[in-house]
Amino acid sequence: MIGDSKSDLGAAKNAGIDSILYYPEHNQQFYTRESLLQFEPTYVVDDFQQIPPIVL
Inside any domain, residue 24: yes
Mean pLDDT score, 27-44: 96
- 3-state helix, strand, coil split of the chain in percent (to 5) is 50, 15, 40
Inside any domain, residue 53: no
The letter for the amino acid at 9 is: L
Three-class SS of 39-51: CCCCEEECCHHHC
Inside any domain, residue 41: yes
The pTM of the full predicted model, rounded to 2 decimals, is 0.91
Please, which pLDDT band fits residue 4 given cuts at 50, 70 and 90?
A: very high
Number of domains into which the chain is organized: 1
